[in-house]
Chains A and B, each alone.
Chain A
Amino acid sequence: MIEDLFPLLLTRYNYYMAVIIMMIGLYAMIAKSNLVKKIIGLNIFQTAIFLFYISIADVRGGTAPILIEGSNALYVNPVPHVLILTAIVVSVSTTAVALSLVIRIHREYRTVEEEDLMRMEGGSG
Chain B
Amino acid sequence: MREDVVIRTVCRAMIPFIQLFALYVILHGSSSAGGGFQGGVIFASAFILYVIAFGIMEVRRRMHEKVVVALSSLGLYIYAGIGILCILFGAGFLGYSAIPLPVSAAETRGLMMEFVEIGIGLTVMAVMTSIFMDISVKEGGED
Residues of chain A touching chain B, judged by Cβ–Cβ distance below 8 Å, are 64, 66, 85-86, 88-89, 92-93, 96, 99-100, 103, 107
Contact = CB atoms under 8 A, between A and B. Distances in A.
B37 A100 contact: no
B134 A100 contact: yes
B127 A93 contact: yes
A66 B131 contact: no
A119 B37 CA distance: 42
A96 B131 contact: yes
Main secondary structure of the interface of B (DSSP, over half): helix
Contacts of B127: 93
Contacts, number: 21
In this complex, the interface size class of chain B, counting residues with CB under 8 Å from chain A, is 10 to 19
B94 interface: no
B135 A100 contact: yes
Interface of B: 32-33, 35, 37, 41, 124, 127-128, 131, 134-135, 139
Given A92-B128, A93-B127, A96-B135, 5 more contacts: A64-B33, A66-B33, A85-B35, A100-B131, A107-B139
B36 to A, nearest CB: 10
